[in-house]
Amino acid sequence: MPLHLLSSPAAAAKLAASLRGAPLRRCHSFAPAPRHPDRASLATSLLAAAAARSAGTAVAAAQTKLSVSGKKQVLISLSDKTDLAYLGNGLQGLGYSIVSTGGTASSLEAAGVNLDGRVKTLHPSIHGGILARRDQEHHLKALKDHGIGTFDVVVVNLYPFYDKVTSGTISFEDGIENIDIGGPTMIRAAAKNHKDVLVVVDHSDYPSLLEYLKGNQEDQQFRRMLAWKAFQHVASYDSAVSEWLWKQSNKGEMFPPSFTVPLELKSTLRYGENPHQNAAFYADKSLSLVGAGGIATAIQHHGKEMSYNNYLDADAAWNCVSEFDSPTCVVVKHTNPCGAASRQDILEAYRLAVRGDPVSAFGGIVAFNTIVDEDLAKEIREFRSPTDGQTRMFYEIVVAPGYTEKGLEILKGKSKTLRILEAKRSGKGMLSLRQVSGGWLAQESDDRTPEDITFTTKSERAPQENELADAKFAWLCAKHVKSNAIVIAKNNCMLGMGSGQPNRRESLRIAFRKAGEEAKGAALASDAFFPFVLVVWQVTWPSIYVAWKDAVEEACQNGIGIIAQPGGSMRDDDAVACCDKYGVALVFTGVRHFKH
């Protein structure tokens, strides 16, 4: 590709004469100082570019003072100046000439680094010096003809747009002002020409850069990795800008025609769901998730590194326990809550949650929606399994919104491997994504709680107040159980649950087997309506005998006091008639909670 620099020698000489002796601080060139001193405002930059196109090489020489002496040259323009002094002194020690922008230049000078000049980031001669290919003679000739030097290293990071728009309410104009133009332009140019120009966007790469330069290495793989990181840096930045602009211009619309999810590697995991699968954990850096809480941003205070399955189970436990307003403990195994209880005394809630299914609870995840203090930590550490009264309960993870200093100290003493997580309550109104082969499914998060819906009585017998409270508790637990889901609960305590069965009756039977005799008078919640089977047979005419022989009747025969289900089946009337026959209260929620 030819390198074109437009020039009119007469005009160039005239403009150059007028600019000689003018200060090189770009913020004084054409406009008042911009908001970001490291890069000129768009108006100033466009004026500079227009003047450069008219005046050609004279402007390049007068305003940017780019070296054409053959000395290796670095361009530095940083918003985040972390380790800038280290980088500047390191480059200077290696004999590199440093050219910089206003704010960065001032910081370098304050650190005792000598500069070869100050530049405008949108100046054509800057990009000519970055994009020119050293193996193309016509590129080098064009540079020589116009007195433009080359850059060997470009170190740039961008205006803190992400931090600005997530720090609080800002005006649309202020958001637009914080969109970087010059920075991405230089980064992309340098990354494209990475064979000749090293591009650095992350201060953590400064040491490896200096080592590379010190050894005069020619490792193209290193250059390619830096180029990849540069393009990824700009892509993430553009993703944030795009997401913000979509929300500013499409209020209430959740599904844009296209969008990018910016993911950042948080950790490489030992393995995936199974030992033969490699895995990693990525944090979602979308603007919508800033401050949203959840397991991805949890602090790990103690224990082994998190595994793939640990993340899934901890997420399930935390999402479930965060739904409850009263002090609550939830125990999860393989992403299903196998025990849950709400009590004003959180110690009692913990004991009841474990007793709901102590076999499943062993090796599970315990989640609380209250601070873990000294007393609760002791109970977690010393509690014996209800199955034999002797074996200390073992857990993979404890997750809570916080810990007292003493509580954390005691809990750390339970096991060297126990993972102790501190998480913020998960946000609502999030976009839920799930991968399928060749695509993604997107939906609104399921945020409905009992307070958001109406429990409508369908049976002849109206539920008592305590029954309705049990039905709401069971319904909220069922929301977090894999379909087909059945939960039996009484006195704000899960007694049994059946999950993941393709046949709802089998889930019901599993739940009753776990609940035992305590199921009598309890509440039963189903995540979806009951597919009713009606059996009709004739013995002698005109006598006709009807039997339901399905999950609703089986629940009634086992002594259930109240059933909560969404309704919506063609045989809802039969479900009502069956409950009336056994004197069981039946309420419809109108809301289904499938979880696949």
| CATH code for position 519 | 3.40.140.20
Per-residue confidence (pLDDT) for residue 517, from 0 to 100: 93
| HSE, side-chain direction, 13 A CA sphere, residue 195 | 6
Q: How much is the average pLDDT of 526-538?
A: 66
Q: Is 422 helix (H, G, I), strand (E, B) or coil?
A: strand
Does some domain include residue 24? no
Whether 65 shows a pLDDT value over 50: the answer reads no
Closest-CA residue to 227 (of 253, 195, 254, 204): 195
Token representation of residue 427: 């946000």
Share of the chain above pLDDT 70, in %: 84
Q: pLDDT band at residue 426, thresholds of 50, 70 and 90? A: confident
Cα-based angle 518, 523, 525 (whole degrees, multiple of 5): 125
**Selected residue with higher pLDDT from 39 and 586:** 586
Query: What is the number of domains present in the chain?
Result: 3
Active site residue 480: no
Out of 112-126, 143-157, 406-420, pick the least confident: 112-126
Domain shared by 408 and 470, yes or no: no
Highest mean pLDDT among 75-84, 426-435, 562-571: 75-84
CA-CA distances (angstroms) from residue 126 to 69, 100, 132? 16, 11, 10
Domain shared by 270 and 407, yes or no: yes
CA–CA dist 551, 557 (Å, integer): 10
| Helix segments in 383-503, DSSP class H | 405-412, 465-478
Out of 62-71, 148-157, 394-403, pick the least confident: 62-71
Which residue out of 192, 247, 412, 458 is catalytically annotated?
A: 192
Does some domain include residue 101? yes
Pairing of strands 562-565, 523-526: parallel
Per-residue confidence (pLDDT) for residue 545, from 0 to 100: 42
Instruction: Note the pLDDT tens digit of each residue in 155-181.
Output: 999 999 999 999 888 899 999 999 999
Does some domain include residue 175? yes
Does some domain include residue 34? no
Closest-CA residue to 474 (of 491, 487, 455, 457): 487
Does some domain include residue 228? yes
**Residues in contact with 228: Cβ distance below 8 Å, sequence separation at least 6, in sequence order:** none
Q: How much is the average pLDDT of 189-193?
A: 96
Domain shared by 163 and 300, yes or no: no
**Selected residue with higher pLDDT from 584 and 57:** 584
Active site residue 127: no
CATH code, domain carrying 194: 3.40.50.1380
Token representation of residue 468: 């309705």
* Helix H or strand E segment including 184: helix 182-192
Does some domain include residue 132? yes
CA–CA dist 361, 332 (Å, integer): 7
Of 248, 275, 299, which residue constitutes the final position of a domain? 248
Cis peptide before 484 (omega within 30 of 0): yes
| Bridge partner list, 523 | 489, 562
Q: How much is the average pLDDT of 88-106?
A: 92
- Are 502 and 484 spatial neighbours (Cβ–Cβ below 8 Å)? yes
Q: Could you tell me if residue 211 is left (phi over 0), alpha (psi between -120 and 50 degrees) or otherwise beta?
A: alpha
Whether 55 shows a pLDDT value over 60: the answer reads no
Domain shared by 109 and 224, yes or no: yes
Out of 5-14, 209-218, 272-281, 575-584, pick the least confident: 5-14
Domain shared by 474 and 372, yes or no: no
Whether 239 shows a pLDDT value over 80: the answer reads yes
Domain shared by 275 and 325, yes or no: yes
Per-residue confidence (pLDDT) for residue 209, from 0 to 100: 96
Instruction: Note the pLDDT tens digit of each residue in 19-34.
Output: 333 333 322 222 333 3
Per-residue confidence (pLDDT) for residue 119, from 0 to 100: 66
Domain shared by 277 and 355, yes or no: yes
- Are 265 and 280 spatial neighbours (Cβ–Cβ below 8 Å)? yes
Domain shared by 230 and 365, yes or no: no
Q: Could you tell me if residue 46 is left (phi over 0), alpha (psi between -120 and 50 degrees) or otherwise beta?
A: alpha
- Give the 3-state secondary structure percentages of the chain, helix then strand then coil, rounded to 5: 40, 20, 40
Which residue out of 266, 334, 412, 424 is catalytically annotated?
A: 334
Does some domain include residue 33? no
Q: pLDDT band at residue 87, thresholds of 50, 70 and 90? A: very high
**Residues in contact with 388: Cβ distance below 8 Å, sequence separation at least 6, in sequence order:** none
Whether 554 shows a pLDDT value over 60: the answer reads yes
Q: pLDDT band at residue 120, thresholds of 50, 70 and 90? A: low
Give the residue numbers spanning the domain of 497. 456-588
Average pLDDT of the chain to the nearest whole number = 85
Per-residue confidence (pLDDT) for residue 43, from 0 to 100: 33
Whether 91 shows a pLDDT value over 90: the answer reads yes
CA–CA dist 96, 344 (Å, integer): 68
- Are 514 and 581 spatial neighbours (Cβ–Cβ below 8 Å)? no
**Selected residue with higher pLDDT from 401 and 548:** 401
Whether 232 shows a pLDDT value over 90: the answer reads yes
Does some domain include residue 441? no
Domain shared by 281 and 396, yes or no: yes
Whether 238 shows a pLDDT value over 60: the answer reads yes
Instruction: Note the pLDDT tens digit of each residue in 365-414.
Output: 999 999 999 999 999 999 999 989 999 999 999 999 999 999 999 999 99
Of 184, 213, 248, which residue constitutes the final position of a domain? 248
Highest mean pLDDT among 256-260, 337-341, 445-449: 337-341
Instruction: Note the pLDDT tens digit of each residue in 469-524.
Output: 999 999 999 999 999 999 999 999 999 999 989 988 899 999 999 999 999 999 99
Q: Could you tell me if residue 438 is left (phi over 0), alpha (psi between -120 and 50 degrees) or otherwise beta?
A: left
What one-character DSSP code corresponds to residue 384? B
- Say what angle helices 206-214 and 220-249 make with each other, to 10 degrees: 150
CA-CA distances (angstroms) from residue 388 to 359, 384, 391, 393, 523? 11, 8, 7, 11, 28
- Say what angle helices 124-131 and 137-146 make with each other, to 10 degrees: 150
Per-residue confidence (pLDDT) for residue 121, from 0 to 100: 67
Per-residue confidence (pLDDT) for residue 532, from 0 to 100: 58
Whether 52 shows a pLDDT value over 90: the answer reads no
What one-character DSSP code corresponds to residue 403? B
Closest-CA residue to 422 (of 345, 369, 347): 369
Domain shared by 395 and 500, yes or no: no
Q: How much is the average pLDDT of 453-477?
A: 96
CA–CA dist 316, 523 (Å, integer): 23
State the first-to-last Cα distance of the chain, in angstroms, to the nearest integer: 53
CA–CA dist 492, 472 (Å, integer): 9
Domain shared by 295 and 327, yes or no: yes
Out of 16-25, 257-266, 361-370, 575-584, pick the least confident: 16-25
Of 378, 404, 422, which residue constitutes the final position of a domain? 422
Domain shared by 184 and 117, yes or no: yes
